[in-house]
Structures are given as structure tokens and as C-alpha cells.
Amino acid sequence: MSFYRNAVWFVKGLQEYTKSGYEAAAKHFSAGDLEVNLSGRSFMVTGANSGIGKATAQEIANRGGTVHMVCRNKDRAEAARNEIVEQSKNQNVHVHIVDMSSARQVWEFAQSFSQNNQIHVLINNAGCMVNQRELTDEGLEKNFATNTVGTYILTTALIPALKKAEGPRVVTVSSGGMLTQKLNVDDLQSEKGTFDGTMAYAQNKRQQVILTERWASQHKEIHFSSMHPGWADTPAVQSSMPSFHAKMQGKLRTEAMGADTVLWLAVSPAAAKQPSGLFFQDRKAVATHLPLASSRSTPQEEEKLLAVLEEFAQKFKP
């Protein structure tokens, strides 16, 4: 079944996830959707020092929004901030150094941030694809720790602050790769069989889509969405998937194309009118399962995912 899913997904990707797929979709975009003044609104973007995160932060700063860049590497974050400020002439761009794979660090950051700042929009963009199985200092598999546990803790810890804001939103940058995966709650940390970083990453991205659906049903005051940016030419793709990057040379989207739907979901009035909890691609809600792919999970499996994540969250809470 996974062979079927992978084959169908790759054909779909060549048609839709490439630069030409974006250009075809963009013909139907409403030009005015992104003509907004974001002055007075506060945005947190994780993984904001390169790729889609940086492109999103730049566009928010260009429109007058306050940007909180959450990054792991201080030097790269400061360099990215300087570029964003120089281009936007907006000084309200702040750097926070946090390792999203450290549950305790994420907790500490979210708690202190909530006490000192307001937040209107959280953009969960940080992610990693580690191709060798590696554990964090807290004993968690690194992809799962960063992509799922870090995202879960940051979002749930900021929900009270988001609820105090006007028109709060949470956008999670998932991936179309999740369409190849059925949630596997019995092996969340990829302990069984041969480790495959690409598969672990896609599994994490499926988990993010399920979390988005669950959060939307639990917190009606906040607009939640997840999305697929398409296949974009980013430093992360280059380093994590070098053969894919080489094979797709010239077909990959630019970082700005990858960021377009993130920005649209985060700032446009049109996006806020969509139901909460959906999965988007090129400004349109799309299916979260391929046809005949048997990738749906049961409510019990999804409950178990949430219970495990809550258990980890409580375990590492300062």
C-alpha cells in the first residue's frame, strides 16, 4: 500500500507541487488578498532565519507587522534579521534563540514570551529532517522532538495568549509528503525496523495535520490551518534531500512561492473566512488523504497521539 501511495503522490507532486504547478494555481489568486496593513499585529515565525520561514517573516515585516523570529542559530538569525529590517525599513523584528528540539527550552521560552508580549499569529514553520536516527538530550528521536513535540508544546503553551488577541491564527507548515503516511501511534519515535528520515519526517507532518484538526475543534476562538508549501528550493531541501534536489533542478519553487500560502493563511481576510482546521495548498483547502490510500486513522489512534504528546509536555514542563 505504501508503494501505491508513494507512486500516486509523486505523480501528483510533479503536476502540482513544482514551480509550474504554482504558476498554474496563481492565475486564480485574488491580487488584493495580500494588500493588508499589519501594523499593530504581532507574528511569531519559527525557523525564520532561512527558506520559507525567512521569506514569510520578510513579507510580514514589509506590511508593517511585528515579527518575532524564533531560531536556533544566533549568528544566522541576526544576519537574517538585519536583511529583513534593511529591506522592510521595519525595526519591529525581534530574534529569540530557541532550540525547537528541546522540550524544556520551548516551554521556558513560551512561558516568558507570554508574560511579556502579545501574539496574534503563530506560524509553526521550524522543522528538521535528520537522516540518521539521533536522540536529543531529553531522549527523544530528533525529528519527532522538533517537528511534533516542539510544535505541540509551543502551540498549546501560547493558546491562552492567542485567545487574548483579536483575530488570532495558528498556521502550521506541514508537507504534502504526509499524504504517503498513515498515522502510526505504535512507533512515534521510529524505533522499529530500518530508520528512514524521509519517512519519519512525513509521519511527523501527518501528526501536525491531525493536531491542527484537533486544536480547531477544541479552541473555536482561534483560526487553525496547516498547509503544504509545494516542493521549494530551500537550504533544508538541499541539505536533507540532496538527490531529490539535484533531480528536480529547475522545477522547484522559489522560497517566495513556498511562502505564499503561509502568508495568505496568516494575514488575509479571505483565509479567516475558511473553516478552521483545514489543510491548504496554493490558497485552497485540499484533501488530507489520497484516493483509495487507506491512510485514515481512527479517533482512538488520534486520541492516543494527543495523550502521548501531553505526557511528554508535562514531563518536560519547568
User: pLDDT, tens digit, for every residue of 47-72?
Assistant: 999 999 999 999 999 999 999 999 99
Active site residue 201: yes
CB atoms within 10 A of CB 82: 12
In CATH terms, the fold of domain 3-316 is Rossmann fold (3.40.50)
Q: Is the pLDDT of residue 167 over 60?
A: yes
DSSP per-residue letters across 197-221: HHHHHHHHHHHHHHHHHHHHHH-TT
Residue-level pLDDT at 1: 52
Q: Which of 17, 22, 152, 201 is the catalytic position?
A: 201
Name the residue ranges covered by the structural domains of the chain: 3-316
For residue 51, give every residue at least 6 positions away whose Cβ sits within 8 Å of its Cβ, in sequence order, or none: 232, 234, 235, 236, 255, 258
Residue-level pLDDT at 234: 83
Output the average pLDDT for the chain: 95
Residue-level pLDDT at 26: 97
Give the integer Cα–Cα distance in Å for 89 and 241: 35
- Over residues 248-256, mean pLDDT: 90
* CA neighbor of 1 nearest in space, from 210, 289, 231, 251: 289
- The C-alpha cell at 60 is 510580514
Q: Is the pLDDT of residue 240 over 80?
A: no
User: pLDDT, tens digit, for every residue of 204-226?
Assistant: 999 999 999 999 999 999 999 99
Q: Is the pLDDT of residue 101 over 80?
A: yes
Higher pLDDT, 226 or 237: 226
